[in-house]
Amino acid sequence: MAMPLWIREKVFQRSILKRELTTLLPGVDWESKFSFTEHHQSHAASAFYPSPFEEAAVLTIDGVGEWTTTSIAIGKRQEA
């Protein structure tokens, strides 16, 4: 049931964003400003980076993702 919505809104998301932003602010190289990550990588980063931990296992589980609904990652802070 989710596939028609996924195809309509997710597959073409990058080109839709670029088209709409170009309409608002022409002359900007929008392609170079986009950085798309995987669904669960975004969840993991938003949980790990604001945490107080220097290193942590990060488990993400939800009902929708690009290709997976569960993932595990290792978060490690890098020295500046």
Output the CA torsion 25→27→31→37 (10° steps).
-30
Domain residue extents for the chain: 1-36, 37-80
Q: CA 54 to CA 2: how far, in whole Å?
A: 37
CA dihedral 20, 11, 44, 69 (to 10 degrees): 150
Residue in the block written with tokens 């978060």: 75
Q: What is the pLDDT of residue 66?
A: 64
Give pLDDT tens digits for 9-62. 777 788 888 899 999 999 999 888 888 888 888 899 999 999 999 999 999 998
Q: What is the pTM of this model?
A: 0.60
Task: Please report the pLDDT score of residue 68 as a whole number.
Answer: 77
